[in-house]
Amino acid sequence: MTLFALFFYLSTTFEEVSALFDGGVTPEFFPRLLLWVIGVLALLLPFEHAWRVARSGGSGDSGLEEDRKGMVKPIAYITMVVALVIVGLAEHLGTYLTLIVACCVLPALWGERRWLLMAAFGLGFPTAVMLLFTQVFKIYFQPGIFGLSFH
């Protein structure tokens, strides 16, 4: 509902257009219609929960909480942050180096400790991927600060 309110407010900030140009269908018409639909459906969610609990035959389990059972493990949040950092670095490091970083950091983060295998993977996979995509698919990748490029 917060998002509904935010986007509804944003839809009031659209530039105004002459009725001659909009053909009667203003730019905010469809997003607002959609926001109303989503808003109404969101308001029904607690009722769905209550209805399912009532149908559960006294177990009190709506069956809707299955995905939320148990806490999210910290590793998921750490992976999220690491992924954000990796993508943030990509523009500066260049694609090849970024891939090497990702292929070394993520396995280590997830508990991999076979260092030789990790080194082979961290170097082998990015090199193979870069060769494939620069030479076969002719895609241009940013060389980054060290100018590492396969072109």
Amino acid at 120: A
Site string for other proteins, 16-35 (x = CB under 8 A): -x---xxxxxxxx-xx--xx
* Beta-carbon-side half-sphere exposure of residue 124 (alpha carbons within 13 Å): 6
3-state helix, strand, coil in the chain (%, to 5): 65, 0, 35
Distance, in Å, from the CA atom of 115 to the CA atom of 107, rounded to the nearest integer, reads 10
Name which of residues 33 to 62 contact other proteins (CB under 8 A): 34-35, 37-38, 41-42, 44-45, 48, 55, 57
Half-sphere exposure of 54 (CA within 13 A, CB side): 6
Contacting positions for other proteins (CB under 8 A) = 7, 10-11, 14-15, 17, 21-28, 30-31, 34-35, 37-38, 41-42, 44-45, 48, 55, 57, 63-64, 66-68, 72-73, 75-76, 79-80, 83-84, 86-87, 90-91, 95, 98-99, 102-103, 106-107, 110-112, 117, 121, 125-126, 129, 133, 137-142
